[in-house]
Structure 1
Amino acid sequence: MNQRNNYTQLEDFLEDESFKLWVYFNEDEQGWEEWTLENPARAKLVEKGRQLLLAMKIPNSSFSTSTIQAALNATWDKIEIKEEKNINKKSILKPWKNKWITQVAAIFIVGFSLVWVYDKYLTKYDSVLTYNELLKENSGGLVEQTNNDDKPQIITLSDGSSVLLQPKSKLSYPKIFIGNQRKVYLSGEAFFEISKNPQKPFLVYANEIVTKVVGTSFKIKAYANQPDVEVVVRTGKVKVKSNQLIANSNHQEIVLLPNQALRFKRENLTFNKITDITQDEALNNSISNIEQLGFEFTDIPVSQIFKTIEQAYLVKIDYQHTKLKDCYLTTSLGDQPLPEKLKIICQSIGNNTSYEMNGNQIIIISNGCN
């Protein structure tokens, strides 16, 4: 297992059986994923090895027999020219009379083919920024939250903003936002509800894109192993542009309004703005509870309001049912972060009502309605 720490060439990975099992069958007994993420430079080499293995599974229908034969002839001509420059200038046998030389030339062609496939289909991801590379650019200390659970996790930031972090996702953020911007870093998928502060814009760095808001709710889907990065706006206004660390990309800002989305295509580093998400089948099918449930309540039992919040955020709210069974509220919670929603509800109930929040567990403390 420690031997791979010395891997410096693609061949080292391609000859490793455990690496092949990880790439082809997602078997990770050797901890390839964690080992890869430990080092950004290593991650690039691992990704190239992974892509080459996947390329080998592409049906070999691109090269005809005549094409390969011509390439072999051209290869041999180059070998002859090089040999003629040698001091001894030995006579050279034709490759077709030398089985070993033919095999060498064939290996060259196979290698050339793989490089051609890699350049044509796979190098489009060379400019993909990884989560670790973005963190490397950040000089300050950050807190990292990783969701290894099978359900979303709620994260409350120091400015009151809330983030619903999906499984297999990571979010890095400062304990306290300082300076004139609020920056966080995402790998995976999350739904954001940002506390309004026009003087201090909120920026989400998610691989190739940067999303800028001052107070709104939106979703970002930015998994490193998927071809697209998506931003979907629920309320407010969002500005999206490509990260300045990306070469050959357009840094123009795209403005998104409610029910609009943007799809960044890694293949050619282009943006595709979607003015109505209901017309996009993929986006329409991926809408979560928090994106479609309403938070406008008119004379509604507080128990029903709590149930709506539980469904939207996938949290558990504990409260004394007997004390709050006759409580009815009229309120508009809109795009406020979860802590702000809970604060408004508690103030509306009155009688020194408060809440405590521990991860996805919420406890309401109250003596009953006013």
Structure 2
Amino acid sequence: MQKRNTYTEIEDFLSDESFQSWILLKIDENGWEEWTLENRQRAKLVEDARHLLLAMKVPESDLSLSDIHRALQKTWLKIEEKENHINFIENSRALFVRKYFYSGIAASLFLCLLSVWFYKSSVKADNVVTYKELIDENSEGLVEQTNNSNKPQIITLSDGSSVLLQPNSKLSYPKIFTGNERKVYLSGEGFFEISKNPKKPFYVYANEIVTKVVGTSFRVKAYSDQPDVEVLVRTGKVKVRSNDLVAKSDQQEVILLPNQALRFLRSDLKFKKITNITQDEDLVNSIGNIEQLSFEFTDIPVSQIFETIEQAYLVDIDYPKDKLKDCHLTTSLSDQPLTEKLKIVCKSIGTNTNFEMNGNQVIITSSGCN
């Protein structure tokens, strides 16, 4: 049975973090809305708790949510200690009064502490943009890909662009791009390699920012529970601005070039441009193979080229090793999506060479080099 099924007091709801997120941040990961509508009496209690939570606004403080929980824990421990030292038996009326007296003390303390946390982390809730809000703004039918595995997954879009989607991330995109724009929606982290099309710019919507490109490779890191959003450019040029859904946004636009990055501070709605990523320890530690490996090949064995692609995209490439063991290529695969890289390699090997992709598995068929 879910813990919330036992809630009988307003304080029960106010102390529940997922309830706070639903009311203050509009994040309903635990199905609060559906649960509330199941019972009329429950809905009334939830509504009272909602009004009380939204009514609290006090000056900012350094108290964190963990500080609040620790303080509440200490309060209840003191109450229990006091009750344990009472050695005489009280009549039922006295017991009733005492119970609610101490409950009132704890509830009052909780409300005070919660109101402090509310101002600090939720008074700016109007500026928080959720993945669901982004999806709801789109009128197209979208396909959603979720990576629940422990390794990155490759996604190929209808225009040939590719996305390396990290674990615990999801991407929504139209099955086929129509109109004059290409839009996708990210929650989590993904490395994008976009097919060039100047007449049809590509947009990545992630939390409170929008990244616009024509054809380039870059990474976006935008988890809903993290304070920052990051964009790091590997090749080409991108433009980053705040989302139209963000309240009080000045809509400034930041241009990023190769090996530059941007960190968007969600609490302050501020952009921090990083022109030298080697001087930012967090960025350096987060750079993956796909952002470090070179795709410039001069008289290199095909087997080594396939190995580089496997390391970058974490895919498995099955190819006829005996037929291609003496095949060497000179080619440039930089700034190309995965499918385009494979097309170039296959065409360079010979006209009778083709590839097929099935998730993270790539199968190469060939009769040998030209």
Q: TM-score range by the shorter chain?
A: 0.7 to 0.9
CA contact (8 A) 1:37 1:132 kept: no
* Shift, 1:54, TM fit: 3.9
Instruction: Give, in whole Å, the separation in 1 of the partners of 2:342 and 2:99.
Output: 78
Instruction: Give, in whole Å, the separation in 1 of the partners of 2:318 and 2:363.
Output: 5
Name 2:306's counterpart in structure 1.
306
Name 1:323's counterpart in structure 2.
323
CA contact (8 A) 2:126 2:247 kept: no
Name 1:334's counterpart in structure 2.
334
CA contact (8 A) 1:55 1:114 kept: no
> Residues 261-318 of structure 1, C-alpha deviation per residue, up to 9 Å, x if partnerless?
0001112111100001111000011000000000000000000000000000000000
CA contact (8 A) 1:249 1:270 kept: no
Three-state SS of the structure 2 residue aligned to 1:112 is helix
Q: Is 2:57 the partner of 1:57?
A: no
* Shift, 1:260, TM fit: 0.4
Instruction: Give, in whole Å, the separation in 2 of the partners of 1:119 and 1:299.
Output: 62
CA contact (8 A) 1:52 1:118 kept: no
After superposition, the Cα gap between the structure-2 partners of 1:6 and 1:143, relative to the gap in structure 1 and judged at 3 Å, is farther
CA contact (8 A) 1:181 1:201 kept: yes
Instruction: Give, in whole Å, the separation in 1 of the partners of 2:173 and 2:317.
Output: 26
Aligned ranges for residues 53-92 of structure 1 at < 5 Å? Answer: 54=66, 56-57=68-69
Three-state SS of the structure 1 residue aligned to 2:305 is helix
Three-state SS of the structure 1 residue aligned to 2:268 is coil
CA contact (8 A) 1:323 1:368 kept: yes
* Shift, 1:4, TM fit: 5.2
Name 2:40's counterpart in structure 1.
none
* Shift, 1:147, TM fit: 0.3
Could you list the structure 1 runs, at least 4 aligned residues long, displaced by more than 6 angstroms after superposition: 5-10, 36-39, 98-103
Instruction: Give, in whole Å, the separation in 2 of the partners of 1:7 and 1:242.
Output: 39
Q: Is 2:308 the partner of 1:296?
A: no
Amino acid at match of 2:320: Q
After superposition, the Cα gap between the structure-2 partners of 1:8 and 1:235, relative to the gap in structure 1 and judged at 3 Å, is farther
Instruction: Give, in whole Å, the separation in 2 of the partners of 1:8 and 1:158.
Output: 51
Aligned ranges for residues 2-151 of structure 1 at < 5 Å? Answer: 11-14=11-14, 33=29, 35=31, 54=66, 56-57=68-69, 104=104, 107-151=107-151
After superposition, the Cα gap between the structure-2 partners of 1:257 and 1:7, relative to the gap in structure 1 and judged at 3 Å, is farther
Instruction: Give, in whole Å, the separation in 2 of the partners of 1:155 and 1:9.
Output: 47
> Residues 25-75 of structure 1, C-alpha deviation per residue, up to 9 Å, x if partnerless?
xxxxxxx94646989xx9xx8xx89x9964523669xxxxxxxxxxxxxxx
Instruction: Give, in whole Å, the separation in 2 of the partners of 1:245 and 1:5.
Output: 34
Name 1:168's counterpart in structure 2.
168
Three-state SS of the structure 2 residue aligned to 1:151 is coil
Q: Is 2:165 the partner of 1:153?
A: no
CA contact (8 A) 2:18 2:30 kept: no
Three-state SS of the structure 2 residue aligned to 1:56 is helix
After superposition, the Cα gap between the structure-2 partners of 1:277 and 1:37, relative to the gap in structure 1 and judged at 3 Å, is farther
Name 2:205's counterpart in structure 1.
205
Instruction: Give, in whole Å, the separation in 2 of the partners of 1:349 and 1:37.
Output: 57
Amino acid at match of 1:188: G
> Residues 144-189 of structure 1, C-alpha deviation per residue, up to 9 Å, x if partnerless?
0000010000000000000000000000000000010000000000
CA contact (8 A) 1:189 1:219 kept: yes
* Shift, 1:111, TM fit: 1.4
* Shift, 1:349, TM fit: 0.2
Aligned ranges for residues 212-361 of structure 1 at < 5 Å? Answer: 212-361=212-361
Three-state SS of the structure 2 residue aligned to 1:258 is coil
Instruction: Give, in whole Å, the separation in 2 of the partners of 1:313 and 1:2.
Output: 41
* Shift, 1:226, TM fit: 0.6
After superposition, the Cα gap between the structure-2 partners of 1:309 and 1:7, relative to the gap in structure 1 and judged at 3 Å, is farther
After superposition, the Cα gap between the structure-2 partners of 1:156 and 1:332, relative to the gap in structure 1 and judged at 3 Å, is same
Three-state SS of the structure 1 residue aligned to 2:184 is strand
> Residues 306-349 of structure 1, C-alpha deviation per residue, up to 9 Å, x if partnerless?
00000000000001100000000000011100000000000000
Three-state SS of the structure 2 residue aligned to 1:218 is strand
Three-state SS of the structure 1 residue aligned to 2:123 is helix
Three-state SS of the structure 2 residue aligned to 1:188 is strand
Amino acid at match of 2:157: L
TM-score normalized by structure 2?
A: 0.77
Name 1:196's counterpart in structure 2.
196
* Shift, 1:139, TM fit: 1.0
Instruction: Give, in whole Å, the separation in 2 of the partners of 1:261 and 1:286.
Output: 12
Instruction: Give, in whole Å, the separation in 2 of the partners of 1:38 and 1:219.
Output: 36
> Residues 99-147 of structure 1, C-alpha deviation per residue, up to 9 Å, x if partnerless?
9889757743541232023212443455211101110111111000000
Instruction: For structure 1, list consecutive stretches of 5 or more residues without a partner in the other structure.
Output: 24-31, 61-97
Instruction: For structure 2, list consecutive stretches of 5 or more residues without a partner in the other structure.
Output: 22-27, 36-45, 55-62, 73-97
CA contact (8 A) 1:55 1:117 kept: no
The CA RMSD measured in Å over matched residues stands at 3.4
CA contact (8 A) 1:171 1:185 kept: yes
CA contact (8 A) 1:237 1:258 kept: yes
After superposition, the Cα gap between the structure-2 partners of 1:99 and 1:324, relative to the gap in structure 1 and judged at 3 Å, is closer
TM-score normalized by structure 1?
A: 0.77
Instruction: Give, in whole Å, the separation in 2 of the partners of 1:188 and 1:8.
Output: 36
Instruction: Give, in whole Å, the separation in 2 of the partners of 1:106 and 1:316.
Output: 58
After superposition, the Cα gap between the structure-2 partners of 1:223 and 1:324, relative to the gap in structure 1 and judged at 3 Å, is same
How many residues in Structure 1 have an aligned counterpart in Structure 2? 316
Amino acid at match of 1:57: H
